């Protein structure tokens, strides 16, 4: 039986099977549709008249965006991956490779073009893979990544954090998906979703960490997103190392589609489509459950120790309006637990930890409401209100030689946060973009921790604190394009944290020189601060003599 089980798990590791279905009839010829929207990065306005070419077919297929900025290329051969070229006068040409086209599901691309202030006598198109960050304010140490890139990276298990371990300046931080960015602590990484900070989106993570054993992020939900390895522009706060700035894609607005996945990480389903026929409002929902726990429920003996059980859910509901802008309701969360039982055979205890038993449970998630209002071709405003929370309990017992359990650790951590992020983006002319914003967060906490102290021969209360704290941020920045392939971004970020009564002023600067079409020089610098996990502020320590130290 175990031999067969190993073959099953190996197959799951090597292959993630995806099955798609959709409403409608199956065509005789296996072709599919590539569609999507094209918007201006700086103004968020849809761009009409953009040429979208499929360069991987012979002859090349092409389409142009209409007045609503929407394009549609039909009859695309289902042969795997394609290359798409997006070009328009006055904008930088964008080329996307490895666009996956499959038979049962339309491929939707939400593209953003960066305006070009440089006047050219002719347009020269050069093929290549563009990895510039989506945020036009970022001058250095940033790059975009696509869900296809996450899926194809060997050993990443469809996890953006594990995929990022291959980037320059990034190394693995341990056995889980924690990463070390430019020598900083793995805890210094920040996760953002749709423009606002969220809780750590990983299963089986420690309190205050930025990683975990298994990601809650389902790559089927992601759109092209950004990753920064430092020197972020002024709008980024509460991070001293890297930042994952994740974006969810929009669900299909033309038809309902369903996909089912099965792999080593879990078995799940993704549903998407319009809320009603002809509506531009859409839903996108993805759910996943632990594959290993399902095998255990089927009576398959997987491990002598504990088997992780978990489930997660992600969603993105988008509601465009005529006068109030576009609203979106998004979220990500998960729950699970792990029990590890010690063997009741002292002859098999090779070291002290073999006598320990562990029981841990957790629930964590974030959801938010976002509004983007485009006033005109020069101004757009965004507001985001979000709620994040995590609840973790863990207990460790040590067995005596007669297998009697004795408590050595018990921890309970309950953290909730309400956040607001407001931003205004103003482009007075083709050379300048001004961005300013306000952030606020209300942090509530209820934490208790007991740990056995050898010097006391008893349990000691390490942490017992309940209360709230608040943090406030403001920033302003300006990006200036000099017209000769040189861009300069200057800005300043301020923060006030009432728990420590600290106020910080953080200047930021970035410079980019595109001296050739395929080469550039970048420089960015600034000062950065980060609020530590709240448990760090209240934990009670002891000195070398075992006496309680003053915090």
Which DSSP string do the residues of 194-213 spell out, in sequence order? Answer: TTEE----EESPPTT-S--S
Average pLDDT over residues 27-47: 82
Tokens for 3, please give them: 């031999």
Tokens for 38, please give them: 């094209």
Whether residue 289 contacts residue 184, with contact meaning beta carbons closer than 8 Å, is answered with: no
Give the HSE-up count for residue 170: Cα atoms under 13 Å, Cβ half-sphere.
Answer: 24
Tokens for 265, please give them: 């990480």
Which of 152-156, 263-267, 453-457, 512-516 is predicted most confidently?
512-516
What residue ranges define each of the domains in the chain, with the CATH number in brackets?
A: 19-130 (2.60.40.1120), 131-538 (2.40.170)
pTM higher than the cut 0.95: no
Please work out, in degrees rounded to the nearest 5, the angle formed at the alpha carbon of residue 254 by the alpha carbons of 73 and 324.
110
Q: Which residues of 175-204 are buried (b: 16+ CB within 10 A; e: fewer)?
A: ebbbbbbbebebbbbbbbbbbbbbbbbbbb
State yes or no: pLDDT of 27 exceeds 80.
Answer: no
* Mean pLDDT across the chain: 85
Tokens for 444, please give them: 């509530």
Q: Tokens 């993570």 — which residue? A: 205
State yes or no: pLDDT of 287 exceeds 80.
Answer: yes
Segment 322-347, tens digit of pLDDT: 999 999 999 999 999 988 888 888 88
Q: Indicate the pLDDT class of residue 154, thresholds 50, 70 and 90.
A: low
Instruction: Give a three-class secondary structure readout of 338-390.
Output: EEECCCCCHHHCCCHHHHEEEEEEEEEEEEEEEEEEECCCCEEEEEEEEEEEE
- Verify cis geometry, omega within 30 degrees of 0, for the bond prior to 59: yes
Q: Strand, helix or coil at 294?
A: helix
The Cα 493–Cα 472 span in angstroms is 11
Q: What share of the chain is helix, strand, coil (3-state, %, to 5)?
A: 10, 50, 40
Whether residue 417 contacts residue 388, with contact meaning beta carbons closer than 8 Å, is answered with: yes
pLDDT value for 543? 55
Q: Tokens 């012979």 — which residue? A: 58
Q: Is 109 exposed, middle or buried (0-12, 13-18, 19+ CB in 10 A)?
A: buried
CA distances from 100 to 56, 154, 304 (A): 12, 17, 40
Which of 304-318, 408-422, 524-538 is predicted most confidently?
408-422
Segment 258-281, tens digit of pLDDT: 988 887 778 899 999 999 988 899
Segment 470-487, tens digit of pLDDT: 999 999 999 999 977 899
Question: Which of the 8 DSSP states describes residue 397?
Answer: E
Q: Tokens 């309680």 — which residue? A: 548
Contacts of 339 by beta carbon, 8 Å cutoff, 6+ apart: 306, 358, 359, 360
The Cα 200–Cα 221 span in angstroms is 17
State yes or no: pLDDT of 410 exceeds 60.
Answer: yes
**Residue that wins the pLDDT comparison between 275 and 25:** 275
Tokens for 389, please give them: 């929370």
Tokens for 141, please give them: 């140490």
């Amino acid at each position: 039986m175990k031999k067969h089980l190993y073959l099953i798990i190996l197959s799951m590791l090597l292959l993630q099977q995806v099955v798609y279905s959709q409403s409608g009839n199956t065509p005789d010829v296996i072709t599919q549709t590539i569609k999507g929207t094209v918007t201006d990065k700086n103004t968020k306005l849809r761009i009409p008249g953009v040429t979208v070419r499929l360069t991987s077919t012979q002859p090349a297929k092409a389409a142009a965006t209409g007045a609503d900025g929407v394009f549609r290329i039909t009859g695309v051969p289902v042969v795997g991956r394609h290359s798409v070229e997006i070009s328009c006068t006055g904008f930088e040409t964008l080329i996307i490779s490895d666009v996956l086209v499959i038979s049962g599901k339309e491929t939707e691309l939400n593209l953003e073009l960066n305006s070009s202030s440089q006047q050219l006598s002719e347009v020269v198109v050069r093929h290549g893979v563009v990895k510039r960050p989506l945020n036009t304010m970022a001058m250095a140490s940033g790059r975009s990544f696509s869900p296809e890139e996450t899926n194809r990276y060997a050993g990443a298990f469809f996890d953006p954090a594990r995929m990022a371990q291959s980037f320059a300046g990034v190394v693995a931080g341990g056995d889980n998906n924690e990463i070390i960015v430019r020598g900083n602590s793995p805890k210094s990484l920040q996760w953002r979703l749709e423009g606002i900070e969220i809780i750590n989106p990983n299963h089986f993570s420690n309190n205050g960490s930025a990683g975990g054993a298994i990601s809650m992020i389902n790559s089927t939900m992601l759109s092209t997103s950004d990753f920064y390895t430092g020197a972020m522009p002024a709008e980024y706060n509460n991070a001293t190392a890297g930042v994952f700035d994740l974006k969810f894609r929009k669900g299909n607005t033309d038809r309902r589609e369903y996909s089912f996945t099965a792999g080593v990480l879990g078995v799940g389903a993704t549903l998407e489509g319009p809320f009603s026929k002809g509506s531009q409002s859409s839903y996108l929902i993805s759910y996943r459950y632990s594959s290993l726990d399902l095998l255990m429920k089927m009576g398959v003996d997987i491990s002598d120790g504990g088997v992780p059980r978990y489930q997660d859910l992600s969603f993105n509901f988008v509601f465009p309006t005529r006068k109030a802008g576009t609203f979106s309701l998004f979220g990500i969360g998960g729950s699970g637990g792990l029990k590890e039982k010690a063997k009741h055979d002292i002859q098999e205890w090779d070291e002290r930890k073999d006598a320990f038993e562990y029981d841990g449970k957790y629930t964590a998630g974030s959801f938010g409401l976002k509004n983007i209002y485009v006033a005109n071709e020069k101004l757009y405003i965004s507001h985001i209100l979000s709620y994040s929370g995590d609840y973790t309990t863990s207990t460790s017992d040590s067995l005596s030689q007669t297998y009697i359990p004795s408590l050595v650790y018990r921890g309970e951590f309950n953290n909730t946060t309400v956040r607001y992020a407001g931003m205004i983006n103003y482009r007075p002319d083709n050379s300048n973009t001004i961005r300013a914003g306000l952030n606020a967060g209300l942090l509530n906490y209820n934490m208790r921790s007991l740990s056995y102290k050898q010097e006391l021969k008893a349990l000691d209360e390490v942490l017992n604190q309940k209360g709230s704290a608040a943090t406030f941020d403001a920033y302003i920045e300006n990006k200036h394009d000099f017209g000769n392939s040189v861009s300069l971004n200057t800005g300043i970020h301020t923060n006030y944290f009432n728990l420590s009564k600290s106020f910080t002023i953080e200047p930021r600067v970035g410079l980019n020189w595109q001296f050739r079409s395929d080469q550039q020089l970048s420089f960015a610098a600034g000062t950065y601060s980060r609020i530590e996990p709240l448990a760090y502020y209240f934990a009670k320590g002891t000195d070398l003599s075992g006496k309680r130290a003053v915090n």
